[in-house]
């Protein structure tokens, strides 16, 4: 009887073969059966212990303090972490490609000096004035009317030149702004790169 684990049999903890062996022993041995009956009775009595209801239910409200933060949820998710790593790598590759691309010719125009542009415009205006004066001097019988026409033509030329200068100034300002943005972006990119790559 000593090698029979009746309690393990009672609690259903025996393997199938061992369980059959104990069952066969119980069939044969009345004393063992009586002992087993007492154990069963004890277990049955323990079943009379009643559970109590909780005085009040437990429930949590959705409170940001107790919720896992976004990075805790993120770190807990393997697939999300992998996807984010891949996305970050792709972004880094695109960024590197963008920063190291050849500068477009249109943007090189931004390097023109304003003084040079003014010089070009003044030369153009001067040339047009000379053309007008040449045409006027070619007229054999110049009179007051002709002189007035010349004056009007000169004013128109000056106005056109002024408009051209204004347009050129705008173009130059735009180019300078573009140039400033490019320089700023390069600076930011150089700060973000590891020290060895700068």
> Using CB under 8 A as the criterion, which residues of the chain lie in contact with another protein when the complex forms?
7-8, 11, 13, 38-39, 41-63, 66-68, 72-73, 76
Cβ 177 to another protein shortest distance, Å: 46
Q: Which region holds residue 12: left if phi is over 0, alpha if psi is between -120 and 50, else beta?
A: left
Q: Which residue has the tokens 């990119």?
A: 189
Minimum distance from residue 85 beta carbon to another protein (Å): 19
Q: Please, are residues 32 and 6 in contact by the beta-carbon 8 Å criterion?
A: yes
Which is closer to another protein, CB of 60 or CB of 191? 60
Q: What is the DSSP letter of 111?
A: G
* Cβ proximity to another protein, 59 vs 195, nearer residue: 59
Beta carbons of 25 and 57 less than 8 angstroms apart: no
Least CB distance to another protein at residue 79 (A): 13
Judged by CB, which is closer to another protein: 39, or 99? 39
Angle at 127 between CA 126 and CA 132, to 5 degrees: 95
Looking at the Cβ atoms of 11 and 83, the one nearer to another protein is 11
Question: Nearest-CA neighbor of 174 among 126, 106, 125?
Answer: 106
Find the shortest distance in angstroms from Cβ 109 to another protein.
54
Which is nearer to another protein, 80 or 146 (by Cβ)? 80
**How far is Cα 133 from Cα 119, in angstroms, rounded to an integer?**
21
In the bound complex, what is the minimum distance in angstroms from residue 18's beta carbon to another protein?
Answer: 14
């Amino acid at each position: 009887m000593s090698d029979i684990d009746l309690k393990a049999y009672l609690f259903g903890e025996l393997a199938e073969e061992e369980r059959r062996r104990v069952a066969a022993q119980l069939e044969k041995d009345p004393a063992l059966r009586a002992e087993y009956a007492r154990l069963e009775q004890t277990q049955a009595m323990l079943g009379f212990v009643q559970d109590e209801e909780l005085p009040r239910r437990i429930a949590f409200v959705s409170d940001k303090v107790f919720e896992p933060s976004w990075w805790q949820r993120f770190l807990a998710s393997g697939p999300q972490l992998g996807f984010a790593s891949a996305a970050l790598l792709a972004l880094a590759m695109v960024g590197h490609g963008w920063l190291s691309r050849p500068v477009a010719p249109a943007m090189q125009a931004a390097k023109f000096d304003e003084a040079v542009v003014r010089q070009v415009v003044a030369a153009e205006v001067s040339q047009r004035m000379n053309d007008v004066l040449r045409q006027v001097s070619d007229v054999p019988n110049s009179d007051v009317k002709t002189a007035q026409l010349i004056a009007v033509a000169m004013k128109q030329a000056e106005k056109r030149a002024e408009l051209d200068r204004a347009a050129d100034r705008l173009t130059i300002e735009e180019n300078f702004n573009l140039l400033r943005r490019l320089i700023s972006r390069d600076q930011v990119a150089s700060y973000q790169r590891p020290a060895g790559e700068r």
